[in-house]
Amino acid sequence: MPPGNVSKITAAYVLALTIVSAVFGYGLLSVQQTILLQKEEIGRLNENLRDLERQVSALTEAVQSRSPEPSVDLAELYSRVRGSIVVVQGVVVQRIFTIFGPVLQYSKVQGSGFVCSSTGRNVIVTNYHVVNQVQNLTVSFYNGDAFDAVILGSDPYSDLAVLAISASEVELEPLVLGSSSSLRVGDFVIAIGNPLGLAGSMTTGIVSQLGRTIQESTTGGYMIANVIQTSAPINPGNSGGPLLNSIGEVVGITTAIVSGSQGVGLAIPSDTIRRELPYLITLGKYDMHSWMGVGGMDVTPDVAKALKLSKSYGWLVTSVTPGGPAEKAGIRAGTRQVAVSGTTVTAGGDVIIALNGTRIRGGDDLSAFLEARTLPGQTLEVTVLRDGEEQTLTLVLGKRPPPG
């Protein structure tokens, strides 16, 4: 081969080798840079993961520290209180008319109750609607003992009744009345009663909300105030049973479940029981419910907009009882009909927005304030919204008339 050709081949080989080396070196550098970037990304992801683990750990500790359930021995609590919870039974007799003439119809009723102590007496507390117009009342205990019972006192406005039984009071083990005012939304609660005839059944849940109002057929159109809403399952037959806190104190008396709902049970607060028990035992009644003599409805954003109100809360007065406390105080009722979101509203009346300086957001607040913080004969400063201006009126509370 001629020397010139050898030199050309050598030069070409060297050039090719140089190009390959350069390409390989560049590729190697790119791979190394990619690996370095990936390592940095993995490091960031690991740090994020450790941060998430710390957050999850902190949240877990917070939840565990706030949850009352782990500290509650439900089996021990049940064995401690079961002897104080009773089945209340009786018969309602109705005269019905058939083609063959009048016939007596007998219906068995059943509810729950519990032993409670007040004014030095041990009595049975239950719901008024459980024993209203009921004959042949009996009370049965967990151990099988059963006794005849008579009604000592009742208050249809609060759906409460007190029974006396023929057993020696020494044999009775009263439950401790706790304070419903200390309850918080989210607190753990226990309901024990006789749902659907299943005596001695325990269910658990939480306080879903406080300060509800409910209306029952026995209350004459008035609301029961400060009612506890709970997620503890409550069914027919539970009525009159205790709602307990995590240490076994009575914080309410189960009274109803919202029709057609699941997980919405209601209970009369223990503060109402404590306030009324002495009257029910000694006088047979409680007639210290304050009365304003007004009818009305909650102010909602839709109502406020339609009526051009300057406040989006309050209680719109739609009617005033002639001669009642509200009329004497100069509170005005509605005078015209206005369509609001497909319903008819009686407009033009005062809007109650405060009592003694306490904001009234609606009917729940109004009922709760009157029930827990006033008595008949007391004087109230009622702040109303009238024609766009705030006014304060002085009202002397009356005593609520008997249910019609």
Would you name the residues annotated as active-site residues? 129, 159, 239
| DSSP bridge partners of 137 | none
Say how far apart CA 92 and CA 106 lie, in whole Å: 6
Look at phi and psi of residue 240 and say left if phi exceeds 0, alpha if psi is from -120 to 50, else beta: left
Say how far apart CA 163 and CA 131 lie, in whole Å: 9
What lies within 8 Å, CB to CB, of 95 at 6+ separation is: 102, 103, 104, 105
Report whether 162 contacts 154 (CB < 8 A): yes
Report whether 255 contacts 111 (CB < 8 A): no
Distances (CA, A) of 338 to 81, 190, 212, 314, 320: 54, 45, 28, 18, 18
Q: For the chain, what is the total number of helices (H) and then of strands (E)?
A: 7, 22
Q: Record the tokens describing residue 31, joined without a space.
A: 């791979």
What lies within 8 Å, CB to CB, of 402 at 6+ separation is: 220
Q: Record the tokens describing residue 91, joined without a space.
A: 């018969």
Say how far apart CA 87 and CA 110 lie, in whole Å: 7
Helix (H) or strand (E) holding 383: strand 379-386
